[in-house]
């Protein structure tokens, strides 16, 4: 049996790793048009959270978070994962009043979140700004680092015998008599396969459109800011109700600031973007409100990543009906990084015809979007 994966982001690499680990007899090839991690995965803020997720992907996130503490050992790599919790703060009365209901709704699905008052909150994160009224804490949330995680998955997949071709752009999946027969590179060469997995991030819809399959994805560029190192003071990942913020302090003391601020897409096809000054200013303002120490440090670097969003903000994961052997994993809507261990496992199981733990992902099935025009 052979499987070809289009896209060397985290989802494709995780699928390759899980496939070879589950069955060393299966030939696995990853085709990446650039280099691994060149798009969303390498640009990611790498937050590993279950707090605040849509109910449709909570079980999947819980399963993934169960895997993260052991992931370095599984991969024999270093994702720089650490579990110091996630704290989402309220900076206005409306958010603070709504926090208990937000918590109850998630706890009903087994997400271990709790309301923390101003005193407890400041014990978890001394140095929070005076505007922070209280928050919600999730002790199993945490953080990793983007490129180290990409490298750890790629190295582990290669070690187990997956072939990863970089600089290999795919033109389309070859479908014969209603089933996948192979994948065609843009230089016209083909690889025969039984199963093709489209995990091409923001470019997945274009590949599927080749077969008249319409997966409505909207591409957005998300901005990240990295400061110079500062004194180490912050352990949990900080977020903020009703404001765009994700704030972490990395091992060297630098602050990584994101949360969904937009950059400008200058060339979608070429994965090119420009940082917007207005987003930088707004991002730094909310970071400084929540954690004033960030205001005192200069920026070291800024970048963006192109990410595919679905209309309901949860991914499309699973088989494409009408084309046997075609699987898709796309539309992670700004929060796929944390899910990568579970996504790779599910894709591998689906490809191999094993029990794919349907309860974890049935609400994410691409059929909810696909209009078959074939
Ligand atoms: C700035 C930013 C911050 C984020 N922060 C978080 C966070 O804190 N927590 C979280 O959980 N998630 C976060 N996310 C989301 C997460 O990073 C993504 O959901 C995840 O990385 C998506 O992985 P992927 O493999 O699906 O896509 P990608 O990483 O985009 O990979 C797709 C790959 O396919 C390749 N490709 C495309 N077309 C072709 C083709 N025709 N032929 C061959 N290869 C092709 C691309 O070059 C690319 O490498 C963030 C995303 C961004 C952009």
In the prediction, which pLDDT does 368 show?
Answer: 87
Please tell me what DSSP assigns to residue 253.
Answer: S
Index of the ligand 1 atom closest to the CA of residue 305: 53
- Tally of CB atoms within 10 A around 194: 17
With a 6 A CB cut-off, is 53 part of the ligand 1 pocket?
A: no
- CA 49 vs. chain centroid, Å, equals 10
User: Domain 2-66+146-216+311-372 is of which CATH architecture?
Assistant: 3-Layer(bba) Sandwich (3.50)
In the prediction, which pLDDT does 371 show?
Answer: 56
In the prediction, which pLDDT does 212 show?
Answer: 80
With a 6 A CB cut-off, is 8 part of the ligand 1 pocket?
A: yes
Instruction: Report how far residue 240's alpha carbon sits from residue 132's, in angstroms, rounded to the nearest whole number.
Output: 9
Length of the chain: 374
In the prediction, which pLDDT does 318 show?
Answer: 96
Residue 265 Cα to ligand 1 midpoint, Å, equals 15
Q: Tell which one of 201, 215, 304 to mutate to probe ligand 1, the residue whose CB is within 8 A of the most ligand atoms.
A: 201
Residue 39 Cα to ligand 1 midpoint, Å, equals 5
For residue 120, how many C-alpha atoms fall within 13 Å in the half-sphere facing its CB? 12
Q: What are phi and psi of 112, to 5 degrees?
A: -80, 75
Instruction: Report how far residue 354's alpha carbon sits from residue 163's, in angstroms, rounded to the nearest whole number.
Output: 22
Residue 29 Cα to ligand 1 midpoint, Å, equals 18
Instruction: Report how far residue 227's alpha carbon sits from residue 254's, in angstroms, rounded to the nearest whole number.
Output: 5
Strand, helix or coil at 129? Answer: coil
Contact 155, 75 (CB under 8 A): yes
Going 320 to 181 to 209 to 345, the CA torsion angle's sign is positive
pLDDT tens string 209-259: 988 888 999 999 999 999 999 999 999 999 999 999 999 999 999 999 999
With a 6 A CB cut-off, is 191 part of the ligand 1 pocket?
A: no
Please tell me what DSSP assigns to residue 241.
Answer: T
Which residue(s) pair with 222 in the sheet? 262, 305
Residue 191 Cα to ligand 1 midpoint, Å, equals 24
In the prediction, which pLDDT does 220 show?
Answer: 98
In the prediction, which pLDDT does 373 show?
Answer: 47
Q: Where are the domains of the chain?
A: 2-66+146-216+311-372, 86-138+218-309
With a 6 A CB cut-off, is 11 part of the ligand 1 pocket?
A: yes
Residue 115 Cα to ligand 1 midpoint, Å, equals 32
In the prediction, which pLDDT does 211 show?
Answer: 81
For residue 239, how many C-alpha atoms fall within 13 Å in the half-sphere facing its CB? 23
In the prediction, which pLDDT does 15 show?
Answer: 98
In the prediction, which pLDDT does 306 show?
Answer: 98
With a 6 A CB cut-off, is 9 part of the ligand 1 pocket?
A: yes
Nearest to 368 by CA among 153, 203, 236, 214: 214
With a 6 A CB cut-off, is 172 part of the ligand 1 pocket?
A: no
Instruction: Report how far residue 306's alpha carbon sits from residue 349's, in angstroms, rounded to the nearest whole number.
Output: 28
Residues 6+ apart with CB under 8 A from 46: 143, 144, 145, 146, 149, 337
Contact 317, 55 (CB under 8 A): no
With a 6 A CB cut-off, is 183 part of the ligand 1 pocket?
A: no
pLDDT tens string 190-204: 999 999 999 999 999
- The stretches in the chain having pLDDT less than 70 are 371-374
Q: Tell which one of 29, 45, 244, 276 to mutate to probe ligand 1, the residue whose CB is within 8 A of the most ligand atoms.
A: 45
With a 6 A CB cut-off, is 152 part of the ligand 1 pocket?
A: no
In the prediction, which pLDDT does 160 show?
Answer: 98
Give the DSSP per-residue string, 193-240: -SEEEE--GGGHHHHHHTTTEE---EEEEEEEEEEEE------SEEEE
With a 6 A CB cut-off, is 44 part of the ligand 1 pocket?
A: yes
Nearest CA to ligand 1 atom 3: 44
In the prediction, which pLDDT does 210 show?
Answer: 81
The answer regarding whether domain 86-138+218-309 maps to CATH 3.30.9.10 reads yes
Fold agreement (2-66+146-216+311-372, 86-138+218-309): no
With a 6 A CB cut-off, is 335 part of the ligand 1 pocket?
A: yes
Instruction: Report how far residue 67's alpha carbon sits from residue 70's, in angstroms, rounded to the nearest whole number.
Output: 6
């Amino acid at each position: 049996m052979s499987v070809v994966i289009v896209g060397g982001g985290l989802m494709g690499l995780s699928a390759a790793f899980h496939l070879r680990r589950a069955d060393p007899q299966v030939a696995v090839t990853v085709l990446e048009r650039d280099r691994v991690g060149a798009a969303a995965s390498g640009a990611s803020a790498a937050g590993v959270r279950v707090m605040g997720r849509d109910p449709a992907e909570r079980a999947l996130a819980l399963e993934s978070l169960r895997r993260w503490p052991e992931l370095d050992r599984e991969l024999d790599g270093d994702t720089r994962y650490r579990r110091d919790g996630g704290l989402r703060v309220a900076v206005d009365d409306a958010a603070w009043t709504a926090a208990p209901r937000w918590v109850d709704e998630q706890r009903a699905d087994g997400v271990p979140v709790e309301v923390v008052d101003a005193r407890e909150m400041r014990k978890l994160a001394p140095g929070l700004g005076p505007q922070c009224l209280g928050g919600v804490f999730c002790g199993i949330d945490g953080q990793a680092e983007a490129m180290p995680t990409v490298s750890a998955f790629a190295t582990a997949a290669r070690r187990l015998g997956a072939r990863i071709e970089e600089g290999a752009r795919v033109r389309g999946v070859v479908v014969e008599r209603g089933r996948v027969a192979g994948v065609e590179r843009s230089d016209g060469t083909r690889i025969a396969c039984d199963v093709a997995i489209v995990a091409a991030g923001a470019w997945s819809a274009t590949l599927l459109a080749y077969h008249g399959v319409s997966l409505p994805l909207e591409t957005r560029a998300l901005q990240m800011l990295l400061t110079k190192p500062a004194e180490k003071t912050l352990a949990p990942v900080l977020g903020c109700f009703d404001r765009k913020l994700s704030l972490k302090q990395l091992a060297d003391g630098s602050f990584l600031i994101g949360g969904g601020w937009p950059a400008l897409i200058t060339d979608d096809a070429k994965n090119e973007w420009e940082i917007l000054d207005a987003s930088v200013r707004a991002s730094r303002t909310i970071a400084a409100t929540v954690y004033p120490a960030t205001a005192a440090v200069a920026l070291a670097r800024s970048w963006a990543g192109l990410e595919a969003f679905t209309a309901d903000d949860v991914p499309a994961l699973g088989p494409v009906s009408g084309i046997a052997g075609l699987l898709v994993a796309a539309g992670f809507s700004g929060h796929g990084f944390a899910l990568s261990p579970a996504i790779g496992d599910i894709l591998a199981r689906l490809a191999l015809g094993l029990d794919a733990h349907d309860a974890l992902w049935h609400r994410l099935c691409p059929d909810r979007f696909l209009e078959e025009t074939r």
